[in-house]
Amino acid sequence: MAHFVIVGAGECGARAAFALREKGFDGDVTLIGAEAIAPYERPPLSKDGSGQAPDPKFVAASERYQEQSIDLRLDTTVTAIDPVAKAIRLSDGHMLGYDKLLLATGATARGLPGADGTSDRIRVLRTHADAVALHAALHPGRHIAIIGGGFIGLELAATARMRGADVTVIEGLPRVLKRGVPEEIAQAITERHRLEGVDVRCGETIRSVREETDKVIIGLANGEMIPADLLLVGIGASPNIGLAEAAGLTIDNGIAINERLETSVSDIYAAGDCCSFPLALYGGRRVRLESWRNAQEQANLAAANMLGEGAEISAVPWFWSDQYDLTLQIAGLAEGATTHIRRDLGDGAFILFHLDESGRLLAASGIGRGNAVARDIRLAEMLIAAHAHPDPGALEASGIKLKSLLAA
């Protein structure tokens, strides 16, 4: 009987295990996770603005793994892969053979440069344990400093303010969300954070970080010293490639896979945050995506291809972020766009359409309260997938339905 092994029990790995069963695989499935709790979703860790300690949002109830005959091994570390013997070594020294192997090892939050890991007053957010540790500090009367004006940093800033803490965000680049978000949307988000009382500092260089008994002192290059009760480091994440690299797999901004999620070694696949892949929709450009939807989509694709379906990546990249009552959604990749067209939707909501020099729609970025931009972003996503060249005037005119452009 065939044995499929999945290393990494996060969103991607867990959903791939269930997808194998849904597609009729009746062999053995082993799902291995380093954390001690069952697979859970990560987006709620930074987006929960309630006053309660965050509970894990599990991918599936524990009994479902048993019902589907998935051997879930938690609190277990894989120390090596032997591609020749087609086996992995576990932290207890045992070897586990596989017929096909999926690496869904995810990513690790980057720590503060020059600092030795985290401490009680210097923290990152990647795991449920991180979120629980952060919770106690997010309350009125505490001052939270956040290094990094990306999505994680800003979502944590919103969460901290919603819980009553004072917040300072320090970003080294000239504006927040410099990578991947248009300036108009970044400006709208910055204004909202400042309206909520967040002190947003852009273009600042950090000269020093000193941890004291009851606070952390952040020294800026301009000589200013910022004291905080807690420092959150939100400067991105690095793909977990150690196992793959040691086993001789090709690495290129993550574990390099082809359009079928195959690595450079036979019968080893990779999916989710840990890998980079070519997007035919964008001329084969190699990208690495850290997103909830990408983890889900590649989980299903990995399961299909481990079963020999030969399916290729075709999904349009999509990302969202919740901050206060605002939701930001992005479909596609705007790199290479030469024209940016704005469509106003009312009540402050708007979408920016990004077209290349030929007029092809590459991406759409929208922001508004609640689900204000959701429908139009979904339609834009379909236009992007169709390689559409929509009329710029029709994109700008809010009275013209995007659905009509799709039909055309």
pLDDT of 71-98, one tens digit each? Answer: 999 999 999 999 999 999 999 999 999 9
Per DSSP, what are the bridge partners of residue 255?
Answer: 251, 275
**Topology match between the domains 3-108+237-306 and 325-407:** no
Q: Is 108 exposed, middle or buried (0-12, 13-18, 19+ CB in 10 A)?
A: middle
What is the domain class of 3-108+237-306 according to CATH? Answer: alpha beta
pLDDT at 51 over 80: no
Indicate the DSSP class of residue 316: P
Q: What pLDDT does residue 249 have?
A: 98
pLDDT at 49 over 60: no
Rounded average pLDDT over 256-285: 97
The rounded mean pLDDT for the chain is: 94
Convert 143-179 into a string of H (helix), E (strand) and C (coil): EEEEECCCHHHHHHHHHHHHCCCEEEEEECCCCCCCC
* Strand blocks (E) in 47-183: 70-73, 78-82, 87-90, 95-97, 100-103, 107-109, 122-123, 143-147, 166-171
pLDDT at 116 over 80: no
Burial 298-332 (b: 16+ CB within 10 A, else e): bbbbbbbbbbeeebebebbbbbbbbbbebbbbbbb
Contact assessment for residue 258 and residue 279, using Cβ atoms and an 8 Å cutoff: no
Name the architecture of domain 325-407: 2-Layer Sandwich (3.30)
- CATH of 111-233, picked from 3.40.50.2020, 3.40.50.300, 3.40.710.10, 3.50.50.60, is 3.50.50.60
Rounded average pLDDT over 384-392: 96
pLDDT at 52 over 70: no
Residues of the chain with pLDDT > 90, as a percent, come to 86
Distance in angstroms (rounded) separating the CA atoms of residues 203 and 181: 17
Which residues are CB-neighbours of 289 under 8 A, at least 6 positions away? 273, 317, 319
Residues of the chain with pLDDT > 70, as a percent, come to 97
pLDDT in tens, 291-323: 999 999 999 999 999 999 999 999 999 999 999
Q: What pLDDT does residue 111 have?
A: 87
Convert 290-304 into a string of H (helix), E (strand) and C (coil): CCHHHHHHHHHHHHH
pLDDT tier, 137 (very low <50, low <70, confident <90, very high otherwise):
confident
pLDDT tier, 406 (very low <50, low <70, confident <90, very high otherwise):
confident
- The domains of the chain are located at 3-108+237-306, 111-233, 325-407
pLDDT tier, 115 (very low <50, low <70, confident <90, very high otherwise):
low
pLDDT at 54 over 70: no
